[in-house]
């Protein structure tokens, strides 16, 4: 059974030029010429099954938080409908349901009841909430004296005091310290193992890949993709890579760029022979062929190696290596990156390549090609993890 069904959902906000016009609208005197209609979401449809974990990704202002508020029923849709089957535990914008003049303990009761918990349930679990938040010393202090990280600790502890059927987490976790973030992720994984569905908004690709088995990309209120996290994050990366004149294609892996320079081929060699399978520890070469179509101010060529689930393993570029590749207009060139000790674990890896200016591909992205090449690594040694490090055993006496 689907726990969440979103059917043709749209949300429009009315923006008035002044309070006078807004007040007039409350009495039915609204004039359309005095009101701007801003569509935050347009015809969004998807469903989430029991036990499924789904990430919502997109640029700031794309409508992600609006979507979560609609699902939590703190906003009403303009069009379409949402069906929710199960109790929701939600951690949305930091401070929702909190009152800064009240103590942490008092806010636990207010926030818990807003989440649908009874006073008896809060009484039963308040010690666990305080223990998990690690705020016992401050639990009777006014909330206005809490830091943003302390508020996040308290909010997450309340939202997860009882295991919900659906856990919704917005970007509030990003304000917490690394220690408590790990603690939160451990609790989320524990709930997932027990069958809780997760709806998760984050700009952290590693968190998305670790926690979710599906991702939805929203941009300017429109749903662009619903796929596995690695594929959606590649598309998202192409969206943020540059500005208005970028062309994005998904025909040959996700590819984007303004076109002043163009990748023509990416090849892998082992012992000067083309290679698709290499032994861990081999010396490999990555040859990048490209063409300069128009005059450009400078050029950086970079590559990024990812494992089969999209985790980033290693990347570098000519800027970091303090090399300047040729970029004369009309020229066709090749550069070679040499990796003399390719000690990755056994498995399949894909390589993304980019032509851009400066030290990263977020400015002047000429051509960014995801999954430009793949390579399979086999290993004669068994070890855990992604890369083999030299290890020596020292006996302690």
Most confident stretch, 31-35, 58-62, 215-219: 215-219
How open is the CA angle 366-350-174, to the nearest 5 degrees?
Answer: 75
- What values do phi and psi take at 138, rounded to 5? -120, 5
Residue 251 clears pLDDT 50, i.e. is over it = no
Is the pLDDT assigned to residue 311 strictly greater than 60?
Answer: yes
Q: Tell the CATH superfamily of the 253-378 domain.
A: abc- transporter (atp binding component) like domain (2.70.50.60)
The dihedrals phi and psi of 348, each to the nearest 5 degrees, come to -105, 135
| Mean of pLDDT over the chain | 86
Which pLDDT score, from 0 to 100, does residue 43 have?
Answer: 93
pLDDT digit string (tens) for 189-242?
Answer: 899 889 899 998 887 787 888 889 899 999 989 999 999 888 888 888 777 665
Going by pLDDT thresholds of 50, 70 and 90, the confidence category of residue 320 is: very high
213: DSSP letter: S
pLDDT of the residue at 324: 92
User: Residue 393's pLDDT is what?
Assistant: 77
Label residue 10 exposed, middle or buried (CB < 10 Å: 0-12, 13-18, 19+).
middle
Q: How far is it, in rounded angstroms, from Cα 117 to Cα 107?
A: 13
Answer whether residue 171 shows pLDDT above 50.
Answer: yes
| Cα–Cα dist 4/167, whole Å | 11
pLDDT at 106 over 80: yes
**pLDDT for 72-99, tens place per residue?**
888 999 999 999 998 888 877 655 678 8
Give the mean model confidence (pLDDT) for residues 263-286. 91
- 10-24, 81-95, 105-119, 257-271: least confidently modelled range: 10-24
| Six token digits for residue 53 | 């974990």
Can you give the pLDDT at residue 245?
43
CA distances from 28 to 13, 23, 32, 38, 80 (A): 17, 9, 11, 20, 24
Res 250: pLDDT: 47
Check residue 176 and give its pLDDT: 65
Residue 115 — pLDDT band, cuts 50, 70, 90?
Answer: confident
Q: Which pLDDT score, from 0 to 100, does residue 26 have? A: 64
Higher pLDDT among residues 197 and 16, named by residue: 197
Residue 103 DSSP label: B
How far apart are alpha carbons 242 and 259 in whole angstroms? Answer: 12
Query: pLDDT digit string (tens) for 148-168?
Result: 889 889 988 998 898 889 998
pLDDT value at residue 244: 41
Above 50 in pLDDT, residue 243?
A: no
Q: Where are the domains of the chain?
A: 2-235, 253-378
Q: What pLDDT is stored for residue 172 in this prediction?
A: 67
The pLDDT of residue 105 is above 90:
yes
Strand ranges in 1-107 using DSSP code E only, listed in sequence order: 2-15, 36-49, 53-57, 79-84, 88-91
Looking at per-residue pLDDT, the higher value among 55 and 234 belongs to 55
Q: What percent of the chain has pLDDT over 90?
A: 44
Q: What is the mean pLDDT of residues 350-372?
A: 84
Q: Which CATH number fits domain 2-235: 3.30.470.10, 3.40.50.2300, 3.20.20.70, 3.40.50.300?
A: 3.40.50.300
């Amino acid at each position: 059974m689907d726990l969440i069904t979103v059917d043709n959902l749209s949300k429009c906000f009315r923006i008035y030029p002044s309070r006078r016009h807004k007040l007039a609208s409350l009495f039915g005197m609204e004039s359309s010429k005095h009101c701007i209609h801003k569509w935050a979401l347009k015809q969004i449809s998807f469903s989430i099954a029991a036990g499924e974990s789904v990430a919502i990704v997109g640029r700031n202002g794309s409508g992600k938080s609006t979507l979560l508020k609609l699902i939590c029923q703190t906003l009403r849709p303009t069009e379409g409908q949402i069906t929710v089957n199960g109790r929701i535990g939600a951690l949305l914008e930091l401070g929702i349901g909190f009152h800064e003049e009240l103590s942490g303990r008092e806010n636990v009761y207010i926030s818990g009841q807003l989440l649908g918990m009874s006073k008896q349930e809060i009484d039963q679990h308040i010690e666990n909430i305080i223990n998990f938040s690690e705020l016992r010393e401050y639990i009777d202090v006014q909330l206005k004296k809490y830091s943003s990280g302390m508020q996040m600790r308290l909010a997450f502890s309340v939202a997860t005091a009882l295991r919900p059927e659906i856990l919704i987490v917005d970007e509030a976790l990003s304000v917490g310290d690394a220690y408590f973030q790990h603690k939160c992720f451990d609790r989320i994984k524990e709930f997932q193992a027990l069958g809780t569905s997760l709806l998760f908004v984050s700009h952290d690709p590693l968190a998305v890949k670790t926690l979710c088995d599906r991702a939805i990309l929203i941009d300017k209120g429109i749903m662009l993709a619903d796929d596995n996290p690695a594929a959606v994050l590649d598309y998202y990366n192409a969206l943020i890579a540059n500005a208005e004149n970028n062309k994005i294609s998904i025909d040959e892996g996700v590819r984007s760029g303004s076109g002043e320079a163009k990748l023509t081929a990416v090849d892998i060699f082992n012992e000067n022979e083309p290679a698709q399978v290499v032994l861990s520890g081999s010396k490999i070469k990555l040859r990048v062929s490209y063409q300069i179509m128009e005059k450009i101010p400078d050029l950086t060529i970079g590559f990024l190696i990812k494992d089969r689930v999209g985790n980033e393993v290693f990347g570098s570029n000519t800027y970091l290596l303090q090399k300047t590749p040729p970029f004369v207009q009309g020229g066709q060139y090749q550069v070679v990156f040499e990796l003399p000790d390719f000690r990755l674990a056994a498995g399949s890896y894909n390589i993304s390549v980019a032509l851009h200016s400066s030290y990263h591909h977020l400015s002047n992205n000429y051509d960014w090609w995801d999954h430009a090449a793949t390579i399979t690594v086999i290993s004669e040694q068994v070890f855990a993890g992604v890369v083999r490090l030299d290890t020596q055993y020292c006996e302690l006496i």
